[in-house]
Chains A and B, each alone.
Chain A
Amino acid sequence: MAKIESVNVKKIFKIKKGGNQYDELPALGGVDLKIEQGEFMVIVGPSGCGKSTFLDLVSGLTLPDSGTITIDGKPVTGPGLDRAIVFQQNALFPWRTTLENVEFGLESTNPDRDNRREIALDYLSLVGLSGYHNHYPHQLSGGMKQRVSIARALALNPDIMLMDEPLAALDAQTREFLQRDILRISKESHKTVLFITHSIDEAVFLGDKVAVMSARPGVIKEILDIPLTAEQRAEDDVVATKEFVQSRLILWKLLKEEVVKVQESQIRFQNQAVAQSPARGIGNGLINAVRVLTKI
């Protein structure tokens, strides 16, 4: 049985138009995806394709409009401690020290104070931040903050780590170091990881598999196995290997089509907006008014 299984999952957003009228915006158009135990699955897709929406659905923070998501065969009905999320940025509580942030999730499950502290300190050192436990988030760099976020998620010892572009806001060097740490930690702790990114390099470097999502409404367009071994990934020149370069190229071609679609639809949308400009609205209003008057 797959660890996480998504069958024909659809999600439609309702956007208020004013009054009781809503516009429907289909975000996900039937996502099918299977993630095995211990697998590192990366989802890439053009911006706005619904990657994060899908992650929210797996986390249980929102529920699908149709289709089902199951974890170990059980449907997701809400958030659970078997899944922990690492958000993009600034999701640390600024009023808590790093240690207290890492302890946060444990507070509702582990009543033993000293034990909580011990666990939190362990995870802080796992992400390379021992000695920073009394710092407040604003005293840390962006990369350090994300390390704390990862420690906070890991501290719950979840089966599944859900990572929503956790490195997107970081500079290139910090990003590379953190990618390596994430890879190491996830393999050592045998976590199942669902990782969202818009960086193809990141996807190839991290993923056992990379799923390419289509432009909105998002569906899984293709799933690519990344043939890199753990040894290859550990090397500094992994990006120069034949496997890396080929995977990267295939992914880029798949993704490019979708990015072009997004751009085209944006241009269409702009044209529409011009067509429905206020001047035109007033014109229509006048015509309607004349119609009403002539009827009388």
Chain B
Amino acid sequence: MESKEFIKKLKAYALKSSAIVAFILLWEAAPHLGLIDPIFIPPPSIIAAKIYQLLLSGELLVHTVASLERVFLGFIIALAVALPLGFLIGGWFKTFETAVDPLLQILGQANPFTLFPVFMALLGIGELSKIGIIYWVCQWPVLFNTVSGIKSVDPVYIKVGRSMGLTKFNLFKKVLLPAALPAVFTGIRMSAVFAFFMLIGAEMIGAHSGLGFLIIQSEAVFNMPKMYAAIVSVALLGIAINYVMLKLERRAMSWKEDVAV
């Protein structure tokens, strides 16, 4: 019985990874077959070897840490600003919301890449402008999702809370907050993804460290394997961050019904 189960699982994994494996095999074979120029697109084996080499030399780690530091700071500041603001706007101040919502919508729609020069002009080309732009990008999904999460809490939950004589603070803590949590988490997860996009962009424009810098700098000196090594590292890091966020979300909302999508 158990071996049957095992084989079943193995088959499922094989099916799931078949496209990835095929893609890598094709990529690996293409330069050897003369289909693509290995100077511009080196095969995965060379990229993997380069990543390994960069890991050993410690170079990759230095740049990854530099990138993660920026993401983390910008992200945390965004949470610290957008979460309380979202709760305040969504939960308490109806008139305030009506007044500021249009402005917030416009600001949130502004393409952050176009604002990057503004941030550089205001905060210089150092760390501050990069963290600033990441903060800027991160705050919108958190803010909008928090506001709509609070506003769409089922009124019957609020009725239950009020009928049991909860104070306003307790009503917020015990009813509104947990009820809005799924929406809030969606915002946080979106933010994490945006933060990472923006980071690489910011590092490509003006930086002396970070994975984005590594990509641009390798391209400048025409070190293609190194450039691809950095690109793949960015992709892997993005997957890892998304994975961690999903795990956190599951943990915070273990009560949620699992619905297959």
Contacts and interface: CB of A to CB of B under 8 A. Distances in A.
A104 B255 contact: no
A108 B164 CA distance: 9
Interface stretch (B61-69, B120-128, B134-142, B175-183): B175-183
Given A104-B174, A136-B255, A91 B164 contact: no
Contacts of A60: 163
Interface stretch (B8-16, B74-82, B151-159, B206-214): B151-159
- Grouping DSSP codes into helix (H, G, I), strand (E, B) and loop, the B interface class, with mixed when no group exceeds half, is helix
Would you call the interface of chain A mostly helix, strand, loop, or mixed? loop
A229 B257 CA distance: 44
Interface in B28-62: none
B165 A59 contact: no
Contact of B156 (A59, A91, A138): A91
Interface residues of B, number: 21
B239 interface: no
Q: Which 4 A-B pairs have the closest CB atoms?
A: A138-B257, A105-B164, A95-B178, A95-B255
16 contacts: A61-B162, A79-B165, A81-B164, A84-B163, A84-B164, A85-B160, A91-B159, A93-B160, A93-B175, A95-B178, A95-B255, A104-B160, A108-B164, A136-B257, A138-B255, A138-B257
Contacts of B181: 95
B255 to A, nearest CB: 5
Given A87-B156, A90-B154, A104-B174, A95 B162 contact: no
Given A91-B156, A108-B170, A59 B163 contact: yes
B154 A83 contact: no
A94 interface: yes
Interface in A96-114: 96-97, 104-105, 107-108
Nearest to A136: B255
A153 to B, nearest CB: 9
Nearest to A92: B160
Contact of A83 (B157, B163, B167, B257): B163
B73 to A, nearest CB: 31
B154 to A, nearest CB: 7
Contacts of A91: 156-157, 159-160
Contacts of B174: 104, 107
